Chain A
Amino acid sequence: MRITLWINDRQQELEVTCDEFLAETLRNNGYLSVRQGCSTTSCGLCTVWMDDKPVLSCSVLSVMANGKRITTIEGVQDEARAVAGFLVGEGAEQCGFCIPGLVMTVLAMKKDLRQPTAEQIVHYLNGNLCRCSGYMGQLRGIKKYLGVE
């Protein structure tokens, strides 16, 4: 099927199969920040925005995304660098594999929540698994990024 996606503000006509998920489609088209860590919608690695909301791209059928705006970290590099700087400042990016999905969720959280508490941050990000960092350093960095205590 032919679909139209607005990926990072660029209109793209793409040929996809009916059972292709957005994560695959994005990767196949060069958005290599989109990774999959599971096949059970459990890990949060593949988080992108669909119409500005964070979603698991591994679970969105590409045909269902037809006509929608998709944002990957490639499309928000300036904002991403701001978050990343604080994560890297703590050494909390570690292997980095889960970080694009985390950064996309953090950026969404910034729009969703005003001055969140540590508890709210942890709750909002609970769907983003990380096996390296133990989460503490990421929380330190994100709190600094948001300017909250």
Chain B
Amino acid sequence: MRINNYVAPDNLAEAYLVLNEHNSNTVLGGCTYLRLTSKNIDTAIDLSRLGLRYIEETADAVEIGALATYRDIEVSGILQSLFSGVLPQSVMVIVGVQFRNLATVGATVYSRYGFSDLNTALLALNPEVVLYHAGRIPMALFLEQGASKDILEKVIIPKADLRASFKYLRNSSGDYAILNVAVARSRDEWKIVVGARPFRAMIAAEASKCLSGSRLQKEDIERAAKTTADELEFGTNMRSSREYRQAVCEVLVQRAIQEVIS
């Protein structure tokens, strides 16, 4: 990675302007991923003067600023007590504490990494993302569409009477997940999300629906898990084959549902 210029604007408008001045201009998060790339960046944009590092509870939502780190999530009292603690659970296993003190929420969501644990957990909570230019959009839609040359400001998670569970399978504890699953239930509405397929986290719509209407018997849970594995697409990479991911998906989804109803 090479950088020619560095700026730390004090308002988002300016940051956005600079970002769009040159094709290679780039927003900086914790740089944990950027530094792996061989990008030639003309101007690097540091957002740290924009006050985007926060996790705040409002009357009906939790807002997580783009510069909140994985570690902020991990130790946040708010996030430990809300949403069955799935957000802290999803990040606390990633690399090490010195890494989690750097990696940011904004970068993770904006980059829509397929392997991401956080995005899987987040998606189950029905959040919206706020982009400077594109505005407020549901995260599910954002993960599908992405954005170009925009800046993610924050993620807004509606507070809901909700129980959730996050599951993953990794071989070494320091490795990326072979697969991750988040399941959430708010009243009778279920959401089943699977990530690291190795593709981007996605809601298993049909399975979620069929579970929502069911009586949550053993067969219903098994059917939901099977439907999830059938309706989503899986792929092969160096960590695992498509077939194995599909099989593990069924297992983890069942376990996550069990945990939510137990």
Contacts and interface: CB of A to CB of B under 8 A. Distances in A.
Is there a contact between chains A and B in the complex with CB atoms less than 8 Å apart? yes
Interface of A: 1, 17-19, 21, 39-42, 44, 47, 50, 53-56, 58-61, 63-64, 101, 105, 108-109, 123-129
B6 interface: yes
Contacts, number: 83
B36 interface: yes
A110 to B, nearest CB: 13
B48 A64 contact: yes
Contacts of B92: 123
B97 A54 contact: yes
Interface of B: 1-6, 28, 30-32, 35-36, 41, 44, 46, 48, 71, 92, 95-99, 101-102, 173-174
B101 A64 contact: no
A124 B97 contact: yes
A18 B98 contact: no
B102 A59 contact: yes
B95 A19 contact: no
A102 to B, nearest CB: 11
B3 A42 contact: no
B35 A18 contact: no
A61 B97 contact: no
Contacts of B174: 42, 126-127, 129
Contacts of A63: 6, 44, 46
Nearest to B43: A18
A69 to B, nearest CB: 14
Contacts of B28: 61, 64
B2 A125 contact: no
B97 A19 contact: no
Contacts of B30: 59
Contacts of A58: 35
Contacts of B1: 19
A40 B96 contact: no
A55 B102 contact: yes
Nearest to A125: B96
A127 B95 contact: yes
Given A40-B36, A126-B174, A127-B96, A60 B102 contact: yes
Scoring A17, A54, A56 by chain B CB atoms within 10 A of each residue's CB, the highest score goes to A56
B98 A55 contact: yes
B101 A61 contact: no
A60 B41 CA distance: 16
B4 A18 contact: yes
11 contacts: A1-B6, A18-B44, A19-B3, A39-B35, A50-B101, A59-B35, A61-B28, A63-B44, A64-B46, A126-B95, A127-B98
Contacts of B6: 1, 18, 61, 63
Given A59-B32, A60-B31, A126-B173, A53 B48 contact: no
A58 B31 CA distance: 9
Contacts of A50: 101
Contacts of A42: 95, 174
A14 to B, nearest CB: 14
Nearest to A108: B97
B102 A61 contact: no
A19 B96 contact: no
A18 B96 contact: no
B102 A18 contact: no
Contacts of A127: 95-99, 174
Q: Report, nearest first, the 9 A-B pairs whose CB atoms are least far apart.
A: A127-B96, A19-B3, A18-B3, A18-B6, A54-B98, A47-B98, A63-B6, A41-B32, A56-B98
A137 B27 CA distance: 42
Given A41-B95, A54-B101, A105-B98, A59 B173 contact: no
A56 B99 CA distance: 6
Nearest to A58: B35
